Amino acid sequence: MSPRRSAAESRRTREKIIERSVAIGSVEGLEGLTIGRLATDLGMSKAGVLGHFGSKQALQLAALHGASDLFTRLVWEPVAELRPGLRRLRAFCEEWIRYLEHERTVFPGGCLFATASVEFDARGGPVHDAVARYLLRGRRLLVQDLRVAVRQGELPPETDPEQLAFEMQGLYMALNQELQLFAHALAPARTRRALDRMLGS
């Protein structure tokens, strides 16, 4: 086997492990990730799984990174080229709602970051810090378009982008809970109404 083919197969195996880790983590939390569980699910040896990550913590961090990449691809990239400001912000918000409502293939238990934020909010360490970093990254995407919208006169001049982004992110955490805990079919519509109040209908 050529080194190039071997490296490609190793990369595909690693991606397969991360994909399964994201799915498990969204349902059972990142502590539910075990080398043995993944080996069984993927038909691999424990040594084969461990060889790609080296530790459970490294696996948890890789799952978070994988989930962040998926969020970027599914929610941000479809709207990234739109004109910055309120138009792109509203499109981003709508993609985010659809992502939480319908993306059950890779996130069968809902948003991994919502699960991990509850699981690790009272703990220190690299996983806690990674969860916080990824959530703040999502908030910064909101802030950047809110600032543009204020500058362009699309939102009132007294609008505080940081405060509004804080409230909007809380709305999405609530939406995830409504969908997962209560299976509330009206939650997406209520989220849209709340966003209309926040951003002006």
CATH code for position 102: 1.10.357.10
Half-sphere exposure of 2 (CA within 13 A, CB side): 3
pLDDT along the chain (201 residues), means of 10: 69 92 94 90 90 90 95 96 97 96 87 95 95 96 98 97 98 96 96 96 66
* Residue 74, domain member (yes or no): yes
18 assigned to some structural domain: no
- Residue 160: the pLDDT is 98
- Contact between 58 and 17 under an 8 Å Cβ cutoff? The reply is no
Q: Cα(201)–Cα(183) distance, rounded to whole angstroms?
A: 27
Residue 133 lies in a domain: yes
Domain extent, residue 129, equals 56-199
Q: Examine residue 82 and state whether it is found in any structural domain, yes or no.
A: yes
Predicted pLDDT at 48? 87
State how far Cα 117 lies from the chain centre. 11
Residue 80 belongs to a domain: yes
Q: How many structural domains are present in the chain? A: 1
The pLDDT value recorded for residue 50 is 86
Residue 10 lies in a domain: no
pTM equals 0.89
* pLDDT score at 201: 66
Q: Which residue shows structure tokens 């002006």? A: 200
